[in-house]
Structure formats: structure tokens, C-alpha cells
């Protein structure tokens, strides 16, 4: 549905919110519902005793397989499990629809992505309710917390419409 153009890659280098290395400090700032994007983020939230409303994982961290300990800890994540395909540097209709449905559905949904979930932060912010939180991993640095506000949604929408593909259809799929 959408593909990240090479000239837009630079926009993803800097965190979209405050960076945390301590999960307890992050949870003290985060508001419900929490959407986690990334295997290590989901793992750390669960290790701290918090099951995200929605978790998006792909079995990778920094493009390498996650440690076996993390894989085992995530096998029982989420009461509801959905598998989707999403190629690297893309946002598939399947991922967008599953994310929207997971946010609207009962809590504790695990979206298992075949391919890559790195760009799922953008649609997660757009699909999440105002006042919620999206947490994603910043490679080699920690976890980033995005408070879902109108300003955060506008920033993500502005990025998404610069992708190659049908941005209007993508936004419609997300229900925004």
C-alpha cells in the first residue's frame, strides 16, 4: 500500500518523543492504552509486569534475530494473536487493517509481522485513541514514548502522506 521513499529515511533517525532506558520510568509517564512496536519493547514492558493493549513484533531486533530468551517470553504474549505480512520499508494494507482492528478490539493483541514492523509506529499513532501512548525502540538507545495527541497525529500523518503509494487509501484503512 505504501513504500518509504529513500529521501524520507532521514526523518526516522531522531526519536519522535522522549527516550527512556528505564522501563519503570517510561511506564510512569505512559498513559493507557499502550501500543508497543517492537520485540524488545514488548519484552521489556512485559518483564515489568505490563501487557500492552497491542504489541507489534517481527522476531527481529536491529535486523537480527531476537535472543532465544526474548522469543520464548513472547510466545505467550497477548490473548489474541494475528499474523500479517509487511515487507521492509513498507506499510501493507494487511498491517494497517490489523492494527486498526487490534486497537478497537479487546486488549492484549499480538500482531506478528512476517517481514518488518519498523514503520508501524506511524499508523499506531494514527489508530490509537487520543491520550494513549505508543512506545517503540530506538536502535542502540532505548525506548521512545509518543503521547497520542492531535500534534503527534498530525506529524505522523504528514510523514505518511509523503510515502510512495495511495496515502488516502491508507488513511481510510486506518479510519482517519
Question: Using CA atoms, how far apart are residues 124 and 100, in angstroms rounded to an integer?
Answer: 8
Q: Judge whether 109 and 99 are in contact, CB under 8 Å.
A: no
Q: Judge whether 7 and 163 are in contact, CB under 8 Å.
A: no
Res. 130: pLDDT tops 90:
yes
Question: Whole domain around residue 77: which residue ranges?
Answer: 2-174
Chain center to CA of 94: 14
Find out whether 158 is annotated in a ligand binding site: no
Res. 76: pLDDT tops 90:
no
Question: Using CA atoms, how far apart are residues 111 and 55, in angstroms rounded to an integer?
Answer: 6
Reduced to 3 states (helix: H, G, I; strand: E, B; else coil), residue 48 is coil
Residue 116: which region, alpha, beta or left (left: phi > 0; alpha: psi -120 to 50)? beta
Res. 78: pLDDT tops 70:
no
Residue 74: predicted pLDDT:
84
Q: Considering its fold, how many domains does the chain have in total?
A: 1
Question: Using CA atoms, how far apart are residues 20 and 27, in angstroms rounded to an integer?
Answer: 10
pTM score: 0.94
Average pLDDT value over all residues in the chain: 93
Find out whether 79 is annotated in a ligand binding site: no
pLDDT band at 125 (very low <50, low <70, confident <90, very high): very high
Give the model confidence (pLDDT) of 26-63 as tens digits. Answer: 999 999 999 999 999 999 999 999 999 999 998 877 77
Q: What is the mean pLDDT of residues 13-38?
A: 96
Find out whether 39 is annotated in a ligand binding site: yes
* DSSP states of 108-145: -EEEEEEE--GGGHHHHHHHSPTT-EEEEEETTTEEEE
Q: Which of 129, 81, 130 is nearest to 104 (CA)?
A: 129
Find out whether 117 is annotated in a ligand binding site: yes
Res. 64: pLDDT tops 80:
no
Amino acid at each position: 500500500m505504501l513504500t518509504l521513499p529513500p529521501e524520507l529515511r532521514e526523518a526516522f533517525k531522531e526519536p519522535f518523543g522522549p527516550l527512556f532506558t528505564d522501563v519503570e520510568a517510561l511506564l510512569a509517564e505512559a498513559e493507557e492504552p499502550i501500543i508497543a512496536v517492537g520485540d524488545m519493547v514488548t519484552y521489556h514492558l512485559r518483564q515489568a509486569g505490563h501487557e500492552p493493549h497491542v504489541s507489534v513484533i517481527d522476531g527481529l531486533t536491529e535486523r537480527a534475530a531476537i535472543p532465544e530468551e526474548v522469543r520464548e517470553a513472547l510466545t505467550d504474549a497477548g490473548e489474541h494473536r494475528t499474523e500479517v505480512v509487511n515487507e521492509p520499508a513498507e506499510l501493507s494494507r494487511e498491517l494497517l487493517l490489523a492494527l486498526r482492528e487490534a486497537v478497537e478490539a479487546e486488549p492484549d493483541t499480538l500482531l506478528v509481522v512476517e517481514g518488518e514492523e519498523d514503520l508501524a509506529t506511524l499508523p499506531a499513532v494514527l489508530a490509537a485513541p487520543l491520550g494513549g501512548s505508543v512506545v517503540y525502540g530506538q536502535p542502540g538507545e532505548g525506548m521512545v514514548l509518543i503521547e497520542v495527541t492531535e500534534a503527534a497525529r498530525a506529524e505522523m500523518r504528514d510523514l505518511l502522506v509523503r510515502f510512495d503509494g495511495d496515502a488516502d487509501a491508507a488513511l481510510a484503512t486506518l479510519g482517519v
